[in-house]
Structures are given as C-alpha cells and as structure tokens.
Amino acid sequence: MMMRRPTRPRAYAPDPAAPGRPCDMPGCREAGEYRAPKSRRNLNEYHWFCLEHVRAYNAGWDFYKGMSPAEVEAQLRADTSWQRPTWPLGRLGHAAWDEDVLKDPLHILAAAKMKASKRPDPGKAPAELREPLATLGLSWPITMDTLKARYKELAKRHHPDANGGSRDAEERLKTINLAYATVRSRLGDHARVAATG
C-alpha cells in the first residue's frame, strides 16, 4: 500500500487569514490574499496584495533602505538579542547576586560560593610547592618555561662535573632534580585541568 505524503501549502499559497478584500494596489481588481508589511517600523501592519503585486512589492522591499551604516549596524546588533536589552555579565555588580533576592532552592550557587572560598589564593603557592620553589629560587605563580629555564641554569651550576666531582654538588643537584620534578608535575596537572575544564 502506497503512503500518501501530506500536502503542504506552497510558498505562494494565499494567506488563510486574508481578509477577503481587493488588492491594495490602486486599480487592481484581484483579491488581496497575500500580506506584506507596510514599513520596517510597522512590521505587524500589512498591505494585502494579489500574487502579482505582492511579488513586485517584495522585489522592491529593502528593510535597510534609508538607514546609515551606523543605523544598520545598530539594527543588526539589536536583532541578535531579539530587540531586547542586554548587559555584560557582572555589570550589575554584587547586588545582582544578593542572596535575599536570588532564589536558589537547589543550593547550586551556594555550593559554588563554598567551592570558590576553598580555592587557594592564586598569588600564594600551594603548601606542597613552597619548599621545592624555595629550593629552585622561584616564586609562585610560575610558568613551565620559567621553571625549565631556571632548572637548566641550576643544573649547569651544580653539576658534579662542573664542580670537580664534588660530593656536595652532587647532593645539591639531587635536591634540585627532586624539586624540579615536583613543581613540573604540579604544573602539568594544572595544564591538564585547564585543557579539560
């Protein structure tokens, strides 16, 4: 059994809400079955035309006609937010997140605030890195490039071969290697979190 496809009105089918009046084009006696907006300022007020005249009207329609480039740009920007005002995030300040005004029945924002308060100070080194950073003579925050450059400098300076096979230099290099590995591992963790977060 062959299925019949549902019929769809054609793009040029008359408007079912046509008011049953003649075409608005002067001198035309055809039925006005197709609507066209009167102007860009009155998009909900329509002319009613016959098919021939609505095609001619649409061919000459230019929404931006008579607008300056600045007005066209403003119109395009307003269209991206459906003609509603918008503000940059955070512009309303702390008052926008006032707990008395904001309803948070699932306590999502409260949980985020607690998590933020537990976050370490970005200017203060994590406890486990303070000693390794001191060993390397570096301060937090630090980049991988800075860490590598400092490690190369210290490794050259304290390598036993550069110090006549000194046992002290060898021990110092072991400490530097351990500090470097600790800080490098932590920076790698930060990079992975940033890439996935």
- Cα separation, 93 vs 96, whole angstroms: 6
- The pair of structure tokens assigned to 70 is 């600045």
Question: Is residue 19 within 8 Å of residue 35, measured between CB atoms?
Answer: no
Domain boundaries, the chain: 12-84, 127-196
User: What's the pLDDT at 189?
Assistant: 65
For residue range 21-72, list pLDDT tens digits in order: 889 899 998 988 898 888 888 778 888 999 999 999 988 888 888 889 999 8
- The set of residues, in sequence order, having a beta carbon less than 8 Å from that of 193 and lying 6+ positions away, is none
How far is 37 from 70, CA to CA, in rounded Å?
A: 24
pLDDT tens digit sequence for 131-165: 888 888 888 888 889 989 999 998 898 888 888 88
pTM reported for the whole predicted model: 0.38
Q: What is the pLDDT of residue 28?
A: 92
- Quickly list DSSP for 99-154: TTT---TT-HHHHHHHHHHHSPPTTS--HHHHHHHHHHT--SS--HHHHHHHHHHH
pLDDT digits (tens, 9 = 90+) for 109-129: 667 666 665 555 566 778 888
Query: Model confidence at 193, in pLDDT bands (50, 70, 90)?
Result: very low
What are the φ and ψ backbone dihedral angles of 22, each rounded to 5 degrees? -75, 165
Does residue 101 have a pLDDT over 80? no
Mention every residue, 6+ apart, whose C-beta is less than 8 A from residue 75: 64, 67
Return the pLDDT at 118.
56
Give the model's pLDDT for residue 162.
84
| Residues linked to residue 48 through DSSP beta bridges, in sequence order | 35
Over the stretch 2-15, which tens digit does the pLDDT of each residue have? Answer: 666 655 555 567 77
- Domain 127-196: top CATH class: mainly alpha
- CA gap 184, 132 in Å, rounded: 10
Strand partners, 47: 36
Is 48 in contact with 23 (CB distance < 8 Å)?
yes
Question: How would residue 81 be classed by pLDDT, with cut points 50, 70 and 90?
Answer: confident
Instruction: Write out the two tokens for 41.
Output: 């300022």
Closest by CA to 139, choosing from 149, 128, 127, 125, is 125
* Res 49: pLDDT: 92
